[in-house]
Amino acid sequence: MNISSILFYAISAFILGAGILAVTSVKIFRAAIWLLFSLVGIAALYFWMQVEFIAAIQIVVYVGGIVVLIIFSIFLTQNSGKEMKSTPNGKKIFSALAALFGTAFIHNLIVHYDGFAFNSAEPFNPSVDEIGTQMLSTTSHGFILPFEVVSMLLLAAMIGCIVIAMRPAQSNSETTT
Amino acid sequence: MQEIPLTQILFVSTALFFIGMYGLFTRRNLITMLMSIELMLNSVNINFVAFNKYLFPNNLDGLFFTLFIITIAAAEAAVAIAIIINLYRSHNSIDVDDATEMKY
């Protein structure tokens, strides 16, 4: 049990605890804050796995973007201090049983699967230099095509959001002229 | 670093995925359901990075999948919140029980 394992268990407990509180908290604003802590914990797990670029992206996009967007929409749509309508207990018990069964099933599968071909001979080099070169290269390991497709997707999502959230024009505006 | 086997990271991501599934089943509010979906997407990202690091360290495909999933999740969250705000304007509520026009 060295310091790295202790760090891993601490980060995992933090992620799972914050995640459980995020889905069970009765106040919606507190749920959003617990989600924020869970996402920060996942970024810490990426730092622990030494993929610093993904961790930075996680913090910038999720913590700085999506959670802030969710908090804004909570403020826009409802009273954030109010308690939410609670679900019936039977449904809660059924859902908890389904989740526990799923966790146990996958846990069992992972424990009894020993076909992982570990490859620790070659170095793992996730530097920003390497990621950037590979993302924009057109060779067989390049990712230029998904990169361009994702840029079109972001443009489409942006225009779609503006069109959906736009207040509809007054219907009698042209008749009054 | 190597003392933690891959399976323990997989346990963490499995548990996180089913926590998100529990939230999706029990919540009735659209914003909290969206939050549960974000948790499930994040558990998948942990899996991609862990498999890439432990099994295929010579190429970076898992990292790129993670990057693209994060991008698409951001676009999905933005569109979902636009739809939720529009629903709130027309129904004055974002409970799934109140939006039943397209049921049956």
What distance in Å separates the CA atoms of residue A43 and residue B90, rounded to the nearest whole number? 37
Range(s) of the domain holding residue B34: 6-98
Which chain A residue's Cα is nearest to B4?
Answer: A5
- A56 in any annotated domain: yes
Q: Is residue A88 part of a domain?
A: no
Report which of B25, B12, B83 is spatially closest to residue A90, judged by C-alpha positions: B25
Residue that terminates a domain, selected from A49, A80, A111: A80
pLDDT number for residue A98: 93
A20 closest CB neighbour out of B19, B38, B68: B19
Looking at the fold, whether A64 and A134 belong to one and the same domain comes out as no
Q: Is B92 part of a structural domain of the chain?
A: yes
Examine residue A23 and state whether it is found in any structural domain, yes or no.
Answer: yes
Within a domain: residue B103? no
Question: How many domains does chain B fold into?
Answer: 1
A76, B88 in Cβ contact below 8 A? yes
pLDDT of residue B79: 92
Chain A interface mutation, best of B16, B33, B45, B83, highest count of A Cβ atoms under 10 Å: B16
Residue B36 lies in a domain: yes
Residue B37 in any domain: the answer is yes
| pLDDT tens-digit readout, A14-37 | 999 999 999 998 888 899 999 999
Residue B70 belongs to some domain of the structure: yes
CATH number at residue B72: 1.10.287.3510
Asked whether residue B104 is assigned to any structural domain, the reply reads no
Residues of chain B where predicted confidence (pLDDT) is lower than 70: 1-3, 104
Q: Are A57 and B67 in contact (CB under 8 A)?
A: yes
Where in the sequence is the domain holding A156, given as residue range(s)? 127-167
Across the range A141-161, mean pLDDT stands at 91
Q: What is the CATH number of the domain that holds A47?
A: 1.20.120.1200
B47 and A135 Cβ atoms separated by less than 8 Å? no
**Total structural domains within chain A:** 2
In a domain? residue A21: yes
Q: State the helix-helix crossing angle for A28-48 and B30-54, rounded to 10 degrees.
A: 10
ipTM of the complex: 0.90
- The rounded mean pLDDT for chain A is 86
Same domain, A6 and A72: yes
Residue A22 belongs to a domain? yes
Interface test with A, best of B18, B54, B69 (most A CBs within 10 A): B18
Is the Cβ of B69 closer than 8 Å to some Cβ of chain A? no
